[in-house]
């Protein structure tokens, strides 16, 4: 199942399938290590559209709710 990052539950893992955005968003998330094909784990999320904390390559990163909505992840089998 493919969902966006905001729909994942804390502790859930998946593989990044697509990043939907323009050049600026792509450059910004790729500089943080968020790329298609990478395994991503959601650590936590804040109430009401707050930042989403994720873990990639043993590095925890907080990204905005808007950016997280544009990152599509395949979860489950």
Q: Using one digit for the tens of pLDDT, what is the confidence trace for 6-63? A: 999 999 999 999 999 999 999 999 999 999 999 999 999 887 889 999 999 999 999 9
| Boundaries of domain holding 44 | 2-75
pTM score of the predicted model = 0.91
Which long-range contacts (C-beta less than 8 Å, at least 24 apart) are formed by 21-28? Answer: 21/67, 21/70, 25/67, 25/70, 28/67
Summarize the confidence of residues 59-72 as an average pLDDT: 95
Task: Report the CATH number that the domain containing residue 25 is assigned in CATH.
Answer: 2.30.30.90
Q: How many domains does the chain have?
A: 1
User: Does 77 have pLDDT greater than 80?
Assistant: no
Exposed (0-12), middle (13-18) or buried (19+): which is 47, by Cβ within 10 Å?
exposed
Q: How confident is the model at residue 76 (pLDDT cuts 50, 70, 90)?
A: confident
Residue 55: CB atoms within 10 A of its CB come to 14
């Amino acid at each position: 199942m493919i969902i966006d990052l905001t729909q994942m539950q804390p502790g859930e893992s998946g593989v990044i399938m697509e990043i939907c955005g323009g050049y600026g968003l792509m450059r910004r998330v790729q500089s943080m290590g968020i790329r298609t094909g990478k395994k991503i784990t959601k650590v936590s999320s804040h109430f009401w559209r707050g930042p989403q904390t994720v873990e990639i390559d043993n590095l925890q990163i907080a990204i905005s709710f808007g950016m997280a909505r544009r990152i599509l992840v395949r979860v489950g089998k």
